[in-house]
Amino acid sequence: MTPWDLTLNLKDVVLDFTFLSVFLVAGTILRRYIPFFQHFLIPNNIIGGFIGLILGSQVLKIIPLNSDRLGMYVYHLLAITFIVLGLRQSKTSFGKGPVSKAFIELSCYINQAIVGLLVGFVVIYFFNPNFFAGIGFLLPLGFGMGPGIAYTMGHSWEKAGLVNGGLIGLTFAAIGFLIAYVVGILLVNRGIRRGETALIKGKESLNQDIRTGIVKENPPDIAGFLTLSPEAIEPMAFQIGLIGSIYLLTYLLIYGITYVLEKVGLGDFSDTLWSFHFIIALLISVGVRRILDLTKKSYVIDKGLMNRVSGVCVDFLVAGSVAAISLKVIRQYWITITIMSCLGGIVTYFVIRWTSRRAFDNFHFERFIGIFGEMTGTINSGLVLIRITDPEFETPAAEDLAYGGGIALFLGLPLLIILNLPIVFFNNSLTGYWIALGAIIVYQLILLIVWRLIGFLKPIKYQ
């Protein structure tokens, strides 16, 4: 069953929205007054998510939150954020910085997948032959790609025998967030003390507004511009309406394709197609944006307002994904998940540290810490860490994250296919996972060769 097919009533949806709203407000208050959250810059949405986890049906049982419903919200909010990504930007930079960042990002995905799968093989061959090897592939999905993709892919693998696959994916994502902020802040402070940063030497640069999360000292930023007359339609309503229209096109297109697949006897691929709904949504939104650009009508889209819509979706997505973590799943797999996460975090650190010096000509630390934050959390995590050493975003590190992510998304499509290879084509057999492991290694070698040939990877040792 896909999240599109989950049956629920409006009362549950409304109450879930109000509960998540309260959690976000409570998270904002706690961040404002608790020094621990300020020191490690723990986002309000993560704080709110853990409040929901504690008050929900798994711990105190005060609030009737349901993990399946929360997972459904994560699934749909993921597609909306990708639609916004396609609509808000009319062009993409393909300079050396963004391209190198994209290659580093893909290398992180690949090495995280290798680590996760190898740990899975150890468990299968030495401890539990019935262990689901695909759990290892949820490591890069949760760490590098975020809770939305981790839940979507994990949920689609449940038919292959991965019980609570979506919730396992959310667990990896939550651990990744903690690594991004707790370990990330420690790395930033160490970098400042060692003088590795380009703009900050020997002191922290964060003002009180950033630490508390409440803007009081500095002038507030502008959220966006009104591209339509409010007398005719609320501009924000139009932005949301455009997003909704594209999501409807996404649903109709996928529904039509799955109908054809079932008619020709390929219905087994339907769940995989639904799990890639965010990619299809992105492609449609890019096409719509292109049409608006060609017809000179793209002025109706305001990037600022689109960013606000995306931010709202991400906050509710993260809060919902943390609140949906299954403690039962953690108890069942806690040793394996802990080992995969620790090794995955260590490998991610060294991959980025090694490549950053070779791929970039300057601002190595700012670029390193930004990519580290994104490859264990989300792009927002990376931006938060960059802002500590580059408060005004004077370095190209933040721009690399934004543009490089779009490049990596398309270059990484083969990797998503490989991760699904054992389940879709080999009936979840170990042979399929060994073939996938070989394909991933070959893919990494191809990336390194191409990266070197285009001259963006310098043949020097890390110093």
Which pLDDT tens digit goes with each residue over 150-188?
888 898 898 888 888 999 999 999 899 889 988 998 998
Any domain includes 6:
no
In a domain, 82, yes or no: no
Q: Are 135 and 339 in contact (CB under 8 A)?
A: no
Question: Within 13 A of 407's CA, how many CA atoms are on the CB side?
Answer: 22
Q: How far apart are CA 315 and CA 45, in angstroms?
A: 5
Among positive and negative, which fits the CA dihedral 327, 80, 4, 425? Answer: negative
Residue 391 lies in a domain: yes
User: What is the count of structural domains for the chain?
Assistant: 1
- pLDDT given for residue 462 in this prediction: 38
pLDDT at 128 (0 to 100): 94
Report if residue 277 sits inside a domain: yes
**Residue 367 domain flag:** yes
Determine the angle formed by the axes of helices 96-126 and 430-453, rounding to 10 degrees: 160
Among 70-74, 223-227, 399-403, where is mean pLDDT lowest? 399-403
Tell me how far apart the alpha carbons of residues 116 and 139 are, in angstroms, rounded to a whole number: 6
Residue 357 CA to residue 363 CA, distance in Å, equals: 9
Containing domain of residue 112, as a range? 90-206+226-301+336-453
Note the pLDDT of residue 459. Answer: 55
The answer to whether the CB of 160 falls within 8 A of the CB of 133 is no
What are 305's two structure tokens? 């307002």
Q: How many CB atoms lie within 10 A of CB 261?
A: 16
CA 423/CA 428 separation, integer angstroms: 4
Write the CA distances from 445 to 76, 223, 348, 438, 452, integer angstroms.
34, 43, 17, 11, 11
Q: Which of 344, 360, 396 is nearest to 176 (CA)?
A: 344
Nearest CA to 236 out of 247, 246, 226 is that of 226
pLDDT confidence of residue 461? 47
Confidence of residue 141 (pLDDT cuts 50, 70, 90): very high
In terms of Cβ atoms closer than 10 Å to its own Cβ (0-12, 13-18, 19+), residue 249 is middle
pLDDT surpasses 70 at 456: no
Q: Is residue 66 a contact partner of residue 310, using CB atoms and an 8 Å limit?
A: no
Answer yes or no: is 154 within a domain. Answer: yes
Residue-level pLDDT at 23: 97
Asked, for residue 360, whether it belongs to a domain, the answer is: yes
| Cα atoms found within 13 Å of the Cα of residue 192, Cβ hemisphere only | 20
Residue 21 lies in a domain: no
Residues in contact with 314: Cβ distance below 8 Å, sequence separation at least 6, in sequence order: 45, 77, 81, 378, 380
- 136 close to 120: Cβ distance less than 8 angstroms: yes
> Minimal CA–CA distance to 386: which of 374, 377, 398?
398
Q: Which residue has the higher pLDDT, 11 or 326?
A: 11
pLDDT tier, 90 (very low <50, low <70, confident <90, very high otherwise): low
Mean pLDDT value across the chain: 87
- What percentage of the chain carries pLDDT values higher than 70? 93
The overall longest dimension of the chain from CA atoms, in Å, is 69
The model's pLDDT over 266-320, given as tens digits with 9 standing for 90+, comes to 776 677 778 778 878 888 998 999 999 999 999 999 989 998 998 899 889 889 9
Give residue 438's pLDDT band: very low, low, confident or very high (50, 70, 90). Answer: very high
